[in-house]
Structure 1
Amino acid sequence: MESLDKVITIKGYAIRKGSLDEKQIKYLKDTLTVTPAVKQKYMKKEELDALRFYVYKESPTRYYVPRSWGITTYGPAEANLVPEGLPLSTEAAIFGGKPYPYQEDIIQKFMDAGMNGLICVPCGKGKTFMALSIAAKIGRRFLVVVDKEFLMNQWKGEIQSLFPNLRIGILQAGRHELEPELYDCTLCMIQTLCSQTFPSTTFQNYGFTIFDECHHLGAAHFSRALVKIQTKYMLGLSATPKRDDGLTKVFEWFLGEPVYWEKTREPDPEVLVRPVMLECSHPDYLKLPMDWRGEVVTARLLTQIVQCKERNEIVAKLLRELCENEHRRVLVLSERIGHLNEFERLLEGSGLSISYYIGGMKEEVREEGAKTARILLASYAMASEAMNIKTLNTVVLASPRKKVEQSTGRILRIRASERQVPPLIVDLVDVHNIYKNQYRQRLIYYRKCKYTIEGKKQETSAEIRVPTEDGCLLADD
């Protein structure tokens, strides 16, 4: 290794310092020193400095840079010293699934790309299944990195279903189940990876790593996982890889760019979008909280909105009306748990079964309630990643949200031929300009998906108005 200028190692793409001139070294350091995109106008220098982080390391003789970035910048390495990982036994490698034709095409694209990169498809397309199918093809001990315990349990269930003889270990807190004689794969909690110190040889017996919801890896803290785990083959999964803070590049530098990216769903005009323009007269709802710079304090505005009694009563009325159809199973999403609690209170005496899907619940309680509830009260945080409840067919966006690709995808988990009712998105639009602009962004997404946007005039109360697709306001009930 010492005589080679460019080598791929378990620490990353290693390039000898003596092979770079001063200009190249400056470029390396400048490029791989990253800062999230923020409003810098009023930030102090020390505040900006605190956001900055580095995605390269160095030794006395070498720089260690993200693998994909190194190959793109300096060309193929002269040697790849990353271990292949131990092979799965014949019994452990038995895979009981068969991909759909479209999944086979995506899997093959990943295999043809050197078995490194991202697969980005909408919810319900089978990211987990495809990743495990790839693991079976590679045939080496593998890791799965997740950021939530309920995701870890979902992965464990899928693996047990598809690999009946695979031995599954856990890496979480003080539990380090990594021994090759005992475990064929290990499910890793990213918080444990990032907060604990591991010897550099810890993961050398693994040949493949799956990073679930890989868009999280762009954050300074979570990006540490990419430095600690460098297996021969690596796959990132995400329905929404693009980060608003500009740090998508961080995990792409390590894992590679998308080998397949389906940016919008296949056209599905059967999906209905019902935009509901809310008008509440209470002063606390209407006023804009401003900071000393004259900018809207969005967190405080959201609090005002979700605490508006008039608004919440309107939404509760909508929920009752939706459930008049016995086939409707309604997912209600909000940023605030207290907001969900208020809906439960307002629906007392309705006779409707109501459950929660929020963090902090025992998983068995949460999942059991989700199976039977007519109305499921959930946080956006839980609905944004890997919620898999096939009975849901209606979603109410009860608090404002700019991006809803993953959240709305939760009601599209079954094939169109199996639907009892058309999927329905009830999109609540508040009067404030900031939220009207967010609605316009959502509308762009709905149109790309060819969803049917309702706008037919109905007899209504004066409290709610429904904008047609072209923005014309009509009365609604």
Structure 2
Amino acid sequence: MSRIPIDSVFNGKLYDYQHTAVEAILKHDNGILWASTAFGKTVVAANIISSRNVSTLIIVNSIQLIEQWEEKLKIFLETNKNTIGRLGGGKKKVSNIIDIATMQTLNKIDDLDNILNNYGQIIIDECHHIAAFTFEKIMKAAKSKYILGLTATPNRKDKYDKIITMPISWEGVLEQYAGRLQRMYEGKNIVKIYDYIDNNVPILVKMYNKRLKGYKNLDYNINENAGVQYEFDNV
């Protein structure tokens, strides 16, 4: 799908870790932002919308999320009046500029291809739902140049999570939480982090080795303890 230009300006300020995520996402047409609930994924998405400035469809899984997205976008995006439309909960008032729709409503539309053709970008909130067959049907009909998934829990119980795998996976959760621990408070002079793994599970060891790099980047010292347990502090 070719770009459909829109006029929007980001009206907020990103934290450093959010800025890092935005930079990584903009390097790819497709991707997933995997981050905790407190990360501010909606704010990052608003910045992505203003950076790419193409017509965008945001797909959510409930009416409540439509309302939350609409509220956040009105705060963080400076756009023309009536730019943000919605499709769901009995309402069909789309702008073809920035629209928010529920997966359930889209799945009931007969001319879904024509609807999706209006958007140069699709953002899927809680994209771990994408592996559900109804959601998969929607995504197969999409012809957008840009597709971005947002999730805090990419792994599914039904083991279909491989369907949602794309080039980008946010690895800044450690930096977010371990970095917050370093904030200064009266009487606070040391931070210790205990990181436990089962070293008999290769994937856990691999993830642990990645975390080691994160600790080092945050200037934590790594203290060996009996060759099995490691203690991290920033003294």
Could you tell me the TM-score, scaled by structure 2's length? 0.70
Q: Tell me, yes or no, if the aligned pair for 2:34 and 2:170 is still in contact at 8 Å.
A: yes
Post-superposition shift, 1:268?
A: 7.8
1:170 to 86, 89, 92: 86
Displacement of 1:222 in angstroms is: 2.6
Deviation for aligned residue 1:159: 0.4
1:432-443 equivalences in 2 (<5 Å): none
Residue 258 of structure 1: aligned partner: 168
Amino acid in the other structure paired with 1:246: K
**Could you tell me whether the CA contact under 8 Å between 2:55 and 2:121 is conserved in 1?**
yes
1:303-345 Cα shifts (integer Å, max 9, x gaps): xxxxxxxxxxxxxxxxxxxxxxxxxxxxxxxxxxxxxxxxxxx
Q: 4+ residue runs of structure 1 moved beyond 4 angstroms?
A: 262-265, 415-418
Contact 2:84 2:95 in 1 (8 A): no
One-letter code aligned to 1:88: I
Counterpart AA for 1:108: E
SS in 2 for 1:124: helix
SS in structure 1 of the partner of residue 25 of structure 2: helix
Alpha carbons 2:60, 2:101 under 8 Å: kept: yes
For 1:222, what is the secondary structure of its paired residue?
helix
- Shift of the 154–88 alpha-carbon distance from structure 1 to 2, 3 Å rule, reads same
* 1:56-82 alpha-carbon deviations (Å, 9 max, x no partner): xxxxxxxxxxxxxxxxxxxxxxxxxx2
- Secondary structure of residue in 1 paired with 2:39: coil
d(CA) in 2 for partners of 1:210, 1:143: 6
Decide which structure has greater helix share. 2
Q: 1:294-313 maps to which residues of 2 (within 5 A)?
A: none
Q: How many residues align?
A: 185
1:237 maps to 2:187 = no
Please, which runs of 5 or more residues in structure 1 have no aligned partner?
Answer: 1-81, 271-414, 419-443, 450-477
Deviation at 1:174, TM superposition (A): 4.6
Query: CA shift at 1:209, angstroms?
Result: 1.1
Counterparts of 2:150 and 2:72, CA distance in 1: 15
Would the aligned equivalents of 2:84 and 2:94 in 1 still touch at CA under 8 Å? no
Counterpart-to-counterpart distance in 2, 1:232 and 1:170: 21
Matches within 5 A, 1:172-211: 172=88, 174-180=90-96, 184-211=97-124
Q: Which structure is larger by alpha-carbon Rg, 1 or 2? A: 1
1:110 alignment counterpart: 25
Once superposed, what is the RMSD of the aligned Cα atoms? 2.7
Pairing 1:149–2:63 present: yes
In structure 2, what is the equivalent of residue 119 of structure 1?
A: 33
1:263/1:83 Cα in 2 relative to 1: closer, same or farther (>3 Å)? same
Aligned to 1:83: 2
Query: Could you tell me whether the CA contact under 8 Å between 2:106 and 2:112 is conserved in 1?
Result: no
- State how far apart, in whole Å, the 1-side matches of 2:94 and 2:141 are: 15
Match of 2:12 in 1: 97
Report what 1:222 is aligned to: 135
The one-letter code sitting in structure 2 at the alignment partner of 1:132 is: A
Where do residues 22-421 of structure 1 align in structure 2 (5 Å cutoff)?
A: 82-84=1-3, 86-89=4-7, 93-112=8-27, 114-166=28-80, 167-172=83-88, 174-180=90-96, 184-252=97-165, 256-262=166-172, 266-267=177-178
The answer as to whether partners of 2:32 and 2:148 remain within 8 angstroms in 1 is yes
Q: What SS class does the counterpart of residue 143 from structure 2 fall into?
A: coil
The answer (yes or no) to whether the contact 1:109–1:259 under 8 Å persists in 2 is no
How has the CA–CA distance of structure 1 residues 133 and 417 changed in structure 2, closer, same or farther, with 3 Å as cutoff?
farther
For the residues of structure 1 that align with 2:135 and 2:114, how far apart are their CA atoms? 20
- Post-superposition offset of 1:233: 0.2
User: Aligned partner of 1:105: which letter?
Assistant: T
1:154-192: CA deviation from partner (whole Å, max 9, x where unpaired): 111110001233411011155332344xxx210011111
- For residues 97 and 250 of structure 1, do their structure 2 counterparts lie closer, same or farther at Cα, with a shift above 3 Å needed? same
Distance 1:231 1:417 in 2: 45
Equivalent-residue separation in structure 2 for 1:210 and 1:199 (angstroms): 16
